[in-house]
Amino acid sequence: MTTGKDDKAKGAGNKAAGKVKEAAGKATGSHKTEAKGKAQQAKGELQKGKGEAKESQKKQR
């Protein structure tokens, strides 16, 4: 099982990679790549939230 810190780090990585992918899609005119970048950023946000929830839950114990 991953820790909250792991999930937050993976989320940050996905957000960053998604931003790069989105920018590349815009620069090349590829709507598909741009959409994939936006989806990856959303995935990163969810991972980050999952990590924060895990850390919050751990602190309450």
Q: What is the pLDDT of residues 1-60, one digit of tens each?
A: 889 999 999 999 999 999 999 999 999 999 999 999 999 999 999 999 999 999 999 888
| 61 pLDDT above the threshold of 80 | no
**Which residues, in sequence order, are CB contacts of 41 under 8 Å at separation 6+?**
14, 15, 18, 19, 22
Q: What pLDDT does residue 58 have?
A: 85
The whole-angstrom separation of Cα 16 and Cα 8 is 12
Task: Return the SS3 of 1.
Answer: coil
What does the radius of gyration of the chain's CA atoms come to, in whole angstroms? 14
Q: Whole-model pTM?
A: 0.88
Domain limits, the chain: 4-60
Which one-letter amino acid corresponds to residue 46?
L
